[in-house]
A and B are shown apart, each in its own frame.
Chain A
Amino acid sequence: MSTPTEAAAPTAPKPTRIPPIVTLDAKFFWDGADQEQFLGQKCSDCGLFTFPPRPMCPQCFSVNRREVPLSGRGTVHGWTIPRHPPPFGFKESPIVAVIELEEGIRMVSNVVGCGYDEIRQDMPVEVTFEATMNNHKVPVFRPRT
């Protein structure tokens, strides 16, 4: 057993980011994120990518859908820095962005590891993950060179 003289390893600060609201139709997406997998939804019959996930393909009406790994690469389609009210769960204002993925779908996320004066429209980014409260993770994006 260790003695009390040993310094305790510094504990990582507890995540304060709000966990996602999980619905049945999007459960695969958030479950994947917990495992640091970035999954998209593709129609098994006609191959259409859809986001946000949904129970039926809007092109061929198939309910057969596949969860497929996404490339995780995309560009910043639009972005903003929420200043007021301070977004709950963040110590500093995040950069919120609409990310256009290579697969031709868009999602709202954050750009991390990027200064407020460095963010640019159409900037290339790639997926990474950040922890939330209640032991979940969500996909976010960082600058890609």
Chain B
Amino acid sequence: MTRKFTEAAIAGIGQTEFSKASGRSELQLAAECAVAACKDAGVSPHDIDGMVTFTIDNSDEVNLARCLGVKDLAYTTRIPGGGAAAAATIYQAMAMVNAGLCHNVLIWRAMNERSQYRFGQNPQQQQMSYQSGNGTGSLLWCVPYGAMTPASWGALQAARYMHKYGVTNRDLGYISVQQRAYAANNPNAWFYGKPITLEDHQNSKWIQEPWLRLLDCCQESDGGVAILVTSLERARDLKQPPVQIVGATQSIPYNVEVISNYYHEDLTVMPEAQGVAKRLWAMTGLKPSDMQMAAIYDAFTPHVLLQLEAFGFCKPGEGKDFVKGGGMALDGALPTNTNGGLTGEAYIHGMNSMIEGVRQIRGTSCNQVTKKTVEHVLVSSGMAGAVLAKA
């Protein structure tokens, strides 16, 4: 078969339950969510021929392929950058299908990130070591100084931004309250049935004073999420309405380093998200106002503001007014993280919010946007992003 450009689409999504103690191996979680995505699409796991995950996923391709009975794996790759690069899995899968190299690409991320290992413990008793693909600057240059958790790195990054624009911790609370309202209505969410008020947010303990409280931080979760990517043409014949990947990209500007972003020129912006936005809007010919929903990586609440600004949903420094004015709500300018996000639903490294984008286009979210038809969804994890569309 000759190579040709092939449009790509998401044909299936799958997940395990999201918990604090899965009680089984990460490999089992990976296999379970992979089968769920294949079943959703109506594709046999035997026919998977491409595999994409994170560099830091602990399950091996060959072991997972053995679980799934994959007959002939043609392409495997992994993306660096942790959760900030989550959307780069879609980028890779899109490119593999575009190039005609694969027919059924499985994206997975599965982890026992609460029950098996946690950030912020004594690093000498952890499996935290110097490895490529981890964004390791944080470890090397922060650990002797008591900055041992992603929250501490995130706070250092947010401090200059919050200082410059006078963003208070209370301002961040509007993000948490909105996302917990979504989670409260989502049976898959860890915080199902548990909304919070702004006062609850303000009464939660400081994690990083005076920037981040407990309710500004993503959860620690066990679980797995998988996505099956195939050609748009083939997806049309499968079980679900196809969700086209109209564009996807990645951006790692000079001196930018995952979450430990202290070295680039202006710490009040997120250059990686600006880079993603520039390429993504150019690639798709679309603009912020064409999006009816967004799934935005929210490991810590300030990241949401920085990405809203980077993508042009509001001007620099105006993110706080955008969220305070209900911009993220179902009837707002940009319904955002309608699954509850990583604070409300679960923290499967950003992957769980990306499949919420798919559900919004299919019209199957438990917090479905109904005020307008969801034609386009922005998926952003900071260092990578994608635009999904109703096909």
Seen from chain A, the residues whose Cβ lies within 8 Å of a Cβ on chain B are 17-21, 23, 26, 51-52, 58, 77-85, 87-90, 93-94, 96-98, 105-110, 116, 121, 132, 138, 140
8 of the cross-chain contacts (CB-CB < 8 Å) are A77-B267, A78-B156, A80-B209, A83-B209, A84-B206, A108-B141, A108-B156, A116-B209
Q: Which stretch from B142-150, B273-281, B288-296 is at the chain A interface?
A: B142-150
Q: Is B210 close to A, CB under 8 A?
A: yes
Is B143 a contact partner of A81 (Cβ separation < 8 A)? no
Q: Is B127 close to A, CB under 8 A?
A: no
The CA of A96 and the CA of B143, in the complex, are separated in Å by 10
A121 to chain B, nearest CB (A): 5
B196 to chain A, nearest CB (A): 18
Is A80 a contact partner of B123 (Cβ separation < 8 A)? no
Cβ-neighbour of A23 out of B130, B157, B208, B254 (below 8 A): B130
For B205-231 the 0/1 string (1 means CB < 8 A from A) is 111111100100000000000000000
Is A81 a contact partner of B148 (Cβ separation < 8 A)? no
Is A84 a contact partner of B263 (Cβ separation < 8 A)? no
Is B267 a contact partner of A83 (Cβ separation < 8 A)? no
B120 to chain A, nearest CB (A): 5
Q: Is B203 close to A, CB under 8 A?
A: no
Is A83 a contact partner of B206 (Cβ separation < 8 A)? yes
Q: Across the interface, which residues of B come within 8 angstroms of A19, CB to CB? A: 144
The CA of A133 and the CA of B159, in the complex, are separated in Å by 29
Q: Across the interface, which residues of B come within 8 angstroms of A105, CB to CB? A: 263
Q: Across the interface, which residues of A come within 8 angstroms of B194, CB to CB? A: none
Is A52 a contact partner of B146 (Cβ separation < 8 A)? no
Q: Across the interface, which residues of A come within 8 angstroms of B137, CB to CB? A: 52
Interface residues of B in 67-113 (CB under 8 A from A): none
The residue of chain B having its C-beta at the shortest distance from the C-beta of A21 within the complex is: B140
Q: Across the interface, which residues of B come within 8 angstroms of A78, CB to CB? A: 156-157, 159-160, 163, 262, 267
For B336-358 the 0/1 string (1 means CB < 8 A from A) is 00000000000000000000000
Q: Is B299 close to A, CB under 8 A?
A: no
- Tell whether A89 pairs with B146 under 8 Å between CB atoms, given A23-B130, A52-B137, A83-B207: yes
Is A87 a contact partner of B130 (Cβ separation < 8 A)? no
Is A98 a contact partner of B143 (Cβ separation < 8 A)? no
Q: Is B155 close to A, CB under 8 A?
A: yes
Q: Is B121 close to A, CB under 8 A?
A: yes
Q: Across the interface, which residues of A come within 8 angstroms of B146, CB to CB? A: 82, 87-90, 93-94, 96, 110
Q: Across the interface, which residues of A come within 8 angstroms of B143, CB to CB? A: 18, 20-21
Cβ-neighbour of A82 out of B140, B157, B160, B208 (below 8 A): B208
Q: Is B2 close to A, CB under 8 A?
A: no
Q: Across the interface, which residues of B come within 8 angstroms of A84, CB to CB? A: 205-207, 214
Is A83 a contact partner of B205 (Cβ separation < 8 A)? yes
Q: Across the interface, which residues of B come within 8 angstroms of A108, CB to CB? A: 141-142, 145, 147, 156, 260, 262
Say which size band chain B's interface belongs to.
35 or more
The residue of chain A having its C-beta at the shortest distance from the C-beta of B122 within the complex is: A88
A81 to chain B, nearest CB (A): 4
Query: Counting chain A CB atoms within 10 Å of each CB, which of B144, B151, B254 scores highest?
Result: B144
Is A82 a contact partner of B147 (Cβ separation < 8 A)? yes
The residue of chain B having its C-beta at the shortest distance from the C-beta of A81 within the complex is: B209
Q: Across the interface, which residues of B come within 8 angstroms of A51, CB to CB? A: 263
Cβ-neighbour of A94 out of B145, B151, B156, B207 (below 8 A): B145
Q: Is B178 close to A, CB under 8 A?
A: no
The CA of A94 and the CA of B208, in the complex, are separated in Å by 11
Q: Across the interface, which residues of A come within 8 angstroms of B160, CB to CB? A: 77-78, 98, 121
The residue of chain A having its C-beta at the shortest distance from the C-beta of B255 within the complex is: A58
Cβ-neighbour of B140 out of A23, A96, A132 (below 8 A): A23
A132 to chain B, nearest CB (A): 6
The CA of A72 and the CA of B139, in the complex, are separated in Å by 23
A99 to chain B, nearest CB (A): 9
Q: Across the interface, which residues of A come within 8 angstroms of B214, CB to CB? A: 84
The residue of chain B having its C-beta at the shortest distance from the C-beta of A86 within the complex is: B146
The CA of A112 and the CA of B86, in the complex, are separated in Å by 37
Q: Across the interface, which residues of A come within 8 angstroms of B176, CB to CB? A: none
Is A18 a contact partner of B141 (Cβ separation < 8 A)? no
The CA of A138 and the CA of B254, in the complex, are separated in Å by 27
Q: Across the interface, which residues of B come within 8 angstroms of A77, CB to CB? A: 160, 262, 267
Q: Is B152 close to A, CB under 8 A?
A: yes
- Tell whether A81 pairs with B142 under 8 Å between CB atoms, given A88-B123, A98-B156: no
- Tell whether A83 pairs with B121 under 8 Å between CB atoms, given A21-B130, A51-B263: no
The CA of A94 and the CA of B143, in the complex, are separated in Å by 12
User: What 15 new A-B contacts, CB under 8 Å, besides A19-B144, A78-B160, A121-B159?
Assistant: A18-B143, A23-B140, A52-B140, A52-B141, A52-B263, A78-B267, A80-B211, A82-B146, A82-B148, A82-B149, A85-B149, A94-B146, A107-B141, A108-B142, A132-B144
Is B145 a contact partner of A109 (Cβ separation < 8 A)? yes
A63 to chain B, nearest CB (A): 19
Is B267 a contact partner of A18 (Cβ separation < 8 A)? no
